[in-house]
Every structure is written in structure tokens, then in C-alpha cells.
């Protein structure tokens, strides 16, 4: 690799994924490097929404639930996301916010092993995960143990036999560190626990194999690498082996075995359908469904491969920047698709970059996150972003 713009231009010209950038609505001259917060809209999204509102809703009114496939959307879109995370059909539903799904999953996980009174939570996880783990612990009167991910194996050993639900983030939202989902899931299960992974920063970013890794439950965000739009519905994965015993706390009527019988008591539906809650956010779900198309067409593996190489380019480009430390592990197997730099005044630097059309984000006090989603970020974007950073720091 060469640290010149000409080299970046040559790489961009030879990039087999280059055409996918045109399938996203990104303002001319803007470098969208914060897809780990909010992915940009795919061009198919406004088309799908226009169709959903005018033709489906406006044309068919309530018949849309059946004639336009709205009723089945949570499982249908769930299966599509399932393919992106290595889940076979019938194990993923889409709906609600990530936070609601986290509450649902962690509570159900704890209820799978009611005699195990320790709830373990990743201390570095995004705040909503930690708040919800604490809330579930209070609700079920469990003992909450928060641990840095590095110490998770030790915590599991110390509490072996008492461990119930364990909530971890697959990719650290701050540092971008990718954890060993397969190995840690096995360790959690050896301790008697039930592994709940937050895949928000991993789904659509890194190839996941939730079935092969024997993950118990997982939750993920719809608006980061899946580009479903602000507040896009989240997803919940539950391994098929748990479906019969899954006692989810949000027992809405869409999760009932016979919702239109409208009778008591609540009888959970068979399969993953029991994880449905109330009426799903159809417009948002159809936006999310349309947004998946470029990612599905490119394939997570190809996007990941390019993202890894873009990060290596970024590591090389920032190597001589004084006072800038790369916080993200460099080994590809140990990082997701965002790179985090530690530097003084990260907030002011992010602000200055934004004025130059470089959209990154900062996490206080001193972290700058740069998301390199190979689906729409190019080699020249990385070169230009670092050139701007260099000028801002000067
Ligand atoms: C790991 C993680 N979980 C959850 C969320 C968000 O949850 P919600 O979509 O409910 O706001 C985020 C980001 O906002 C996140 O980074
Ligand atoms: N969910 C967000 C929001 O509602 C507003 C602004 C940003 C976000 C984010 O997604 C933050 C993100 N999860 C993070 O990793 O920091």
C-alpha cells in the first residue's frame, strides 16, 4: 500500500464493491464514517416507503396486513437478518427498539435457569444494556455482577453453577474490540449460564455464525450496519432449542398462539413467533427490509474483507500523527468495522471534521470513532478523512 491519493484512487477504481456506494443516499462531498451510529439510507428505502404508504396502506387499508404481507413481516425480515448473522430460518423476529428486545431477551434468559441467581453483564457495554441488565436483576431479585470482558472467564469460573443470564456486546461500542462469541458462549454455558449477545455493532459488519456458535439469545440494532433508519426496529434471535421454554416478559397479543381468538389466557405461539409483542412498526420494518438489499447483494464476507483492509490503510495513514493513539486492536479477528482513535479534544476534533463534511463521532472524553463500512466507504474516503484530520490537528 502507498500513502498517496493516487494509490487510493487506483484501489477505488479496482474495488469490486465500488458500485454499492451509489445505492446509498449520501450528500455529495460528505464522508459518512459513522455508520456504527446511524447507517445512511439505501436508495431503495424511499421507493419502498412510497409504495407502502400509497399502494399498500392507501390502496388496501387494513387488508394490507394480509394482502401485502404486513402480518408476516417480523418473521420474514427476521429470516433475512438471520441469514446475515448465521441463523437458520424461524429463529429471528424483528420489532421494537434494541432496548426493549434486550429487556425481553435478558429476562427470558434468566427465566430459563431460575435457580441460577447471578446475572452477569459486560461492564463496557453500551449504557442501555447495562441499565437494562440492572433493571432485570432488580425485577427478578438476581445478584448483578458487572465485569470487563477480559475478566469474564474468571467471573464465570468463580460463579460456576450460579450463573444465569449473561449479557455481552460482541463488538465494544467504544473501542471496536470484537470478542470471541463462540469461545465465550461455550464458557458461559459451562458455567451453567445462558448467553445473550448484543450484536448491534456486529450484525452486517462481521460474519457471524450464531447457530454454529451455539448462541442462546441475541439482540441487535436495525439502524447501524443494517441501515434501517433512525429508530429502525431491532431484532431478537432465540436458538430453536429454547423456543418451547422461552418465557418472554412482554406477552403481547401478536405472540399469542391464536391472536384473533382474543381469548384468555396468554398461550405463546409456537416457534419464534412467541417473541412477537404488539402491532409491529410496519413502515419502519419495510424501510429496514429495503435497506438490506445492497448488503445482501454484496455479502457480509466481501464487505467485511474490504472493511478490514480499509482499517489497515487508516492505521498506516495515522501512524505519524502525534498524540493520536489507535485504541482498536489491530488484528482483524479482534476488531469490528469501526476504528477508535484516542486523542486530546476528541469532541472539538469531531466537530471540526463535521464542518469539513467528515462525519465521525466522539465518545467522551477522548475517543474518536471512524466507521469503515466497506459497503459505501471508499479508499479515497479514508485517505481524505485522514488528510482532514491531519489539518484539523495542525
Ligand atoms: C450496543 C448497543 N446496544 C443498544 C443500542 C441502542 O439501543 P436503542 O436502539 O434501544 O436506543 C446501542 C446504540 O444506541 C448500542 O450501541
Ligand atoms: N441510538 C442513537 C441515537 O438515538 C442518537 C444518536 C446516536 C445513537 C447511537 O446509536 C449511539 C451508538 N449506539 C453508539 O455506539 O454510541
3-state secondary structure 272-289: HHHHCCCCCCHHHHHHHH
Q: Pick one of 3.30.360.10, 3.30.230.10, 3.90.1150.10, 3.40.50.10190 as the CATH number of 5-32+299-393.
A: 3.90.1150.10
Distance CA 47, CA 62 (A): 21
Q: Which of 123, 196, 221 is the best mutation target for the ligand 1 pocket, counting ligand atoms within 8 Å of the beta carbon and taking the most?
A: 221
**For 176-203, b where at least 16 C-beta lie within 10 A, e where not — what string?**
bbbbebeebbebbbebbbbbbbbbbbbb
Confidence at 336, pLDDT banded by 50, 70, 90: very high
Residue 290: pLDDT band by 50, 70, 90 thresholds? very high
pLDDT digits (tens, 9 = 90+) for 31-88: 999 999 999 999 999 999 999 999 999 999 999 999 999 999 999 999 999 999 999 9
Whole-number Å distance, alpha carbon 24 to ligand 2 midpoint, is: 20
Ligand nearest to the CA of 127: 1
pLDDT of 182: 98
How do residues 79-125 score in pLDDT, each as one tens digit? Answer: 999 999 999 999 999 999 999 999 999 999 999 999 999 999 999 99
> Residues, the chain, total?
394
Tell me how far the alpha carbon of residue 201 lies from the centroid of ligand 1, in angstroms: 9
C-alpha to C-alpha distance for 386 and 318, rounded to whole angstroms: 7
Q: How far apart are CA 170 and CA 218, in angstroms?
A: 10
Enumerate the domain spans of the chain. Answer: 5-32+299-393, 48-295
Nearest ligand (C-alpha, residue 203): 1
Catalytic sites, residue numbers: 126, 198, 223-224, 369
* Pocket residue to mutate for ligand 1, from 36, 38, 95, 126, most atoms within 8 A of Cβ: 126
Nearest-CA neighbor of 177 among 366, 36, 348, 34?
A: 36
Distance 230 CA to ligand 2 centre (A): 9
User: Among all ligands shown, which has an atom nearest to the Cα of 36?
Assistant: 2
Model confidence at 177: pLDDT above 90: yes
**Arithmetic mean of pLDDT, 11-23:** 97
Q: Is it true that the peptide bond before 265 is cis, omega within 30 degrees of 0?
A: yes
Region 337-363: mean pLDDT is 96
Query: What class is the 48-295 domain?
Result: alpha beta
Residue 276 pLDDT greater than 90, yes or no = yes
Does residue 284 surpass a pLDDT of 90?
Answer: yes
pLDDT-based confidence at 364, cuts 50/70/90? confident
Question: Cell digits for 318?
Answer: 495515522
Pairing of the two strands 92-94 and 367-371: unpaired
Residue 99 CB less than 6 A away from ligand 2: no
Ligand 2, atom 5, residue with closest C-alpha: 37
Q: 45 by DSSP, 3-state: which?
A: helix
Quick check: CB of 128 below 6 Å from ligand 1?
yes
For the entire predicted model, the pTM comes to 0.98
Average pLDDT, the chain: 98
- Is residue 88 within 8 Å of 78, Cβ to Cβ? no
Burial of 261 (0-12, 13-18, 19+ CB in 10 A): exposed
Amino acid at each position: 500500500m502507498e500513502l498517496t491519493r493516487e494509490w487510493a484512487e487506483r484501489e477505488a477504481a479496482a474495488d469490486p464493491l465500488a458500485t454499492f456506494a451509489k445505492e446509498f443516499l449520501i450528500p455529495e462531498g460528505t464522508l459518512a464514517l459513522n455508520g456504527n451510529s446511524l447507517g445512511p439510507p439505501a436508495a431503495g428505502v424511499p421507493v419502498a416507503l412510497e409504495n407502502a404508504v400509497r399502494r399498500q396502506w392507501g390502496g388496501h387499508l387494513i387488508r394490507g396486513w394480509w394482502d401485502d404481507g404486513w402480518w408476516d413481516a417480523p418473521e420474514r425480515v427476521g429470516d433475512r437478518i438471520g441469514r446475515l448473522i448465521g441463523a437458520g430460518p424461524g429463529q429471528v423476529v424483528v420489532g421494537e427498539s434494541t432496548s426493549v428486545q434486550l429487556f425481553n431477551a435478558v429476562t427470558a434468559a434468566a427465566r430459563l435457569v431460575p435457580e441460577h441467581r447471578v446475572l452477569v453483564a459486560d461492564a463496557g457495554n453500551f449504557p442501555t444494556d447495562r441499565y437494562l441488565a440492572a433493571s432485570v436483576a432488580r425485577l427478578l431479585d438476581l445478584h448483578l455482577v458487572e465485569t470487563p470482558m477480559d475478566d469474564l472467564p474468571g467471573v464465570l469460573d468463580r460463579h460456576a453453577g450460579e450463573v444465569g443470564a449473561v449479557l455481552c456486546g460482541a463488538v465494544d461500542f467504544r473501542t471496536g474490540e470484537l470478542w470471541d462469541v463462540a469461545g465465550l458462549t461455550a464458557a458461559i454455558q459451562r458455567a451453567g449460564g445462558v448467553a445473550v449477545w448484543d450484536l448491534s455493532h456486529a450484525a452486517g459488519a462481521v460474519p457471524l455464525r450464531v447457530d454454529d456458535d451455539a448462541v442462546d439469545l441475541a439482540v441487535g440494532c436495525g439502524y447501524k450496519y443494517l441501515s434501517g433508519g433512525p429508530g429502525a426496529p431491532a431484532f431478537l434471535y432465540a436458538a430453536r432449542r429454547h423456543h418451547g421454554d422461552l418465557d418472554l416478559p412482554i406477552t403481547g397479543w401478536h405472540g399469542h398462539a391464536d391472536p384473533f381468538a382474543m381469548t384468555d389466557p396468554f398461550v405463546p405461539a409456537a416457534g419464534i413467533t412467541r417473541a412477537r409483542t404488539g402491532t409491529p412498526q410496519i413502515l419502519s420494518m419495510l424501510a429496514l427490509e429495503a435497506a438490506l438489499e445492497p448488503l445482501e447483494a454484496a455479502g457480509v464476507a466481501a464487505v467485511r474483507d474490504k472493511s478490514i483492509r480499509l482499517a489497515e490503510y487508516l492505521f498506516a495513514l495515522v501512524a505519524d500523527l502525534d498524540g493520536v493513539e489507535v485504541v482498536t486492536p489491530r488484528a482483524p479477528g479482534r476488531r469490528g468495522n469501526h476504528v477508535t482513535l484516542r486523542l486530546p479534544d476528541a469532541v472539538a476534533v469531531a466537530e471540526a471534521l463535521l464542518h469539513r463534511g467528515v462525519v465521525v463521532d466522539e465518545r467522551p472524553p477522548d475517543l474518536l470513532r471512524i466507521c469503515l463500512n466497506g459497503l459505501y466507504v471508499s479508499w479515497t474516503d479514508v485517505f481524505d478523512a485522514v488528510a482532514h484530520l491531519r489539518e484539523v490537528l495542525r
